[in-house]
Every structure is written in C-alpha cells, then in structure tokens.
C-alpha cells in the first residue's frame, strides 16, 4: 500500500473516531426519529430519551429537536448527563403510566444531572406516579421545566448526601407535594429560586434536610404553601404564600429540631393561618407582610432582627 493510501486510511479512521466520540457526547431525539444502532446524530435522531441515554457518554447531553410527546415508559438516569430541549421546542414527557417516577435519577454520588426545558405531565387521574424522583445523585439541576398532574411533582429524597437546585420551574396540580425534600440520609441541601408551586396538596414540604427558597410563589395549594416538619430547616426570602389553607406552617415534635425562617415575604389571603407554629421554631425577621388571612399568626412566632 502506498504511503498516501496509508495516510488517507489513517485520516479517515481518525475522523470517524472523532465523529463517533462527538456523537456520543451530544445525542439528539426527535418525534420523527427511530431508536436503532445508527441513531443519535441531528440528521438521524433517536426517538426516545431512554434509548439516546444508552448512546451518550457520561457528562454528555440529550437534546430534543422538535415539539411533541416523548418516551412511552419511565426514564432512568444513571450517569452524569443533561436532558434538554432546543430553544422554542415543547418537548413533553407524558404517558399513562400511573406508578414510579416519570424521570428517575439513580446515579452515583459524584454525578451531576441537569433536566432543562422539559414539560412533564401524567395522563388521567389517580395513581402514584411522580414527576422527577431522586434516589441518588451528587447534584441535580432542574431548570425551566413544567411538572403537572403527578402525586409528587419533585420527590427529592436521595439515599446519600446530595444537593438540588430548582430554578424557573412551575409545579402544579400534584396530589401530594409540589416539591418534597424528605431524606434523612447524609446532608441534603436544596435551593429553589424563581419557581411557582400552584394547586398542589402542599406547595413545598421539607421534612428532612435544608431548603433555601427565594423569589418563589406558593398559591392555591390545598393545605400549606410552605411546610416544614421533622428535622427540616426552611429559609424563605422574597416569597409569596397566598390562597392556600395555611401560608407557612412549622410543625414538629421537639422545640428545636424543626426550624422555619421567613424574611421579606408576603403572606396573604390564606384561608386559615398566615403563619402557623405548632412545634419546632418559627423565626420571622419582622419585615414580612402578613395580612388578610383567616388568622394572621398562630403559635409562637419569634421576631429576630436581620444581621
């Protein structure tokens, strides 16, 4: 074989290797795609996120190219990855499955998972299906999503220490909690920013772990807009709790295990209580607007100065 042929063959092999590697770093799905051994490129997309995940390297991305409904079965994420939709695309993950987590995050404690620009919905009523469930992860980022109609919208109760970041997301019409932070395993920290928790059983429940919430509205929930119990630690800043049964409720069996702190927030038009303390410790920085509730405050509300 001539030297030029050898060089040419090596170049082609190298190019194919590079293209294959690039494809596995970023795979694509489409309602017009097909799940097969050749899928994954933007020209030959896969049909489902689940299949595309098998063709994506850890740390890669799976991108929905066009609007429509994806994945007939629940999705399991077991590695660092980003699931997202292209700008302007309405990628809906919806099916009649009434059990399990629509997206289940069951990765390693060192993995970083991002779920962005997706619409999660459940068909029909009843069942125990959840929107996003977290069994294990290092950190989870949920950004610009809509989650509607499940039992728990976001179930964050991993079996080891983890962090959660939820931003610019709406969780609505969920029978139990819009967001549950409920793990006793390790150190659980969740940050919630610019979110809407609407018409759920509860907007946010923190039963274990620490949650910091900013610029978030909990409205129209059947019981509490924001609820902390057990060994939960909840901090609210620049938030609104309106048109719930109770705006912010702190309940606990011990005097200090349950802590709720509220600052610079509006608590109004809740049917029963604005602030409710029936256990644990409820701190208010004294700069909140609490009015036009059935009863504005109930229990011991500790007024503390800002620092």
Within-domain flag for 152: yes
Rounded CA-CA distance 122/129 in Å is: 8
Residue 71 to residues 16, 94, 306, Cα–Cα distance (Å): 30, 7, 49
State the residue for tokens 């799940």.
35
Span 268-294, pLDDT tens digits = 999 999 999 999 999 999 899 999 999
DSSP the chain: --HHHHHHHHHHHHHHHHHHHHHHHEEEE-TT---STT--SSSS-BS-HHHHHTTS-TTEEEEE-SSEEE-SS-EEE-SSEEEEE-TT--EEEEES--SSEEEEEE--TT-EEEEESEEEEE-SS-S--EEEEEEE-SEEEEES-EEESSSSSEEE--SS-EEEEEES-EEES-SSEEEEE---SS-EEEEEES-EEESSSEEEEEEEEEEEEES-EEES-SSEEEEEEEEEEEEEES-EEESSSEEEEE--SSSSSSEEEEES-EEE--SSEEEEESSSEEEE-S--EEESSSEEEES-EEE----
**Can you tell me the mean pLDDT for 120-148?**
91
Radius of gyration of the chain (CA): 23
Within-domain flag for 136: yes
Span 224-245, pLDDT tens digits = 999 999 889 999 999 999 999 9
Within-domain flag for 11: no
pLDDT at 215: 98
User: Is residue 204's pLDDT more than 70?
Assistant: yes
Within-domain flag for 168: yes
pLDDT at 257: 81
Span 24-65, pLDDT tens digits = 799 999 999 999 999 999 999 999 999 999 999 999 999 999
| Percent of residues, the chain, with pLDDT higher than 70 | 89
CATH value at residue 123: 2.160.20.10
User: Is residue 2's pLDDT more than 90?
Assistant: no
Residue 123's pLDDT band, with cuts at 50, 70 and 90, is confident
Within-domain flag for 56: no
The domain total for the chain is: 1
Within-domain flag for 18: no
pLDDT at 127: 74
Residue 262 to residues 208, 277, 290, 299, Cα–Cα distance (Å): 18, 12, 11, 15
> What range defines the domain where residue 188 resides?
78-303
Within-domain flag for 215: yes
């Amino acid at each position: 074989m001539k030297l030029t042929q050898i060089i040419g063959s090596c170049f082609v092999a190298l190019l194919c290797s590079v293209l294959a590697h690039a494809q596995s770093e970023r795979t694509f799905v489409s309602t017009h795609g097909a799940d097969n051994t050749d899928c994954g490129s933007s020209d030959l997309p896969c049909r489902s996120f689940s299949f595309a995940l098998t063709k994506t390297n850890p740390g890669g991305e799976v991108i929905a190219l066009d609007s429509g409904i994806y994945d007939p079965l629940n999705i399991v994420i077991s590695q660092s990855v980003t699931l997202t939709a292209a700008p302007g695309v309405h990628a809906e993950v919806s099916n009649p499955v009434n059990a399990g987590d629509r997206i289940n995050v069951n990765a390693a404690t060192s993995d970083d998972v991002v779920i962005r620009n997706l619409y999660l919905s459940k068909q029909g009523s009843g069942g125990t299906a959840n929107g996003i469930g977290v069994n294990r992860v290092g950190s989870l980022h949920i950004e610009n999503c809509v989650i509607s109609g499940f039992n728990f919208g976001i179930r964050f109760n991993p079996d080891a220490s983890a962090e959660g970041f939820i931003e610019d997301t709406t969780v609505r019409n969920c029978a139990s909690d819009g967001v549950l932070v409920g793990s006793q395993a390790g150190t659980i920290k969740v940050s919630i920013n610019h979110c809407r928790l609407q018409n759920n059983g509860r907007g946010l429940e923190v039963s274990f772990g620490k949650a910091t919430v900013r610029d978030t509205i909990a409205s129209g929930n059947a019981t509490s807009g924001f609820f902390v119990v057990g060994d939960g630690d909840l901090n609210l800043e620049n938030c609104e709790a309106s048109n719930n049964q109770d705006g912010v409720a702190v309940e606990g069996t011990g005097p200090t295990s349950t802590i709720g702190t509220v600052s610079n927030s509006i608590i109004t038009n809740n049917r029963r209580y604005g602030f409710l303390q029936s256990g644990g410790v409820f701190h208010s920085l004294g700069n909140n607007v609490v009015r036009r509730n059935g009863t504005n405050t109930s229990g011991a509300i500790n007024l503390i100065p800002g620092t």
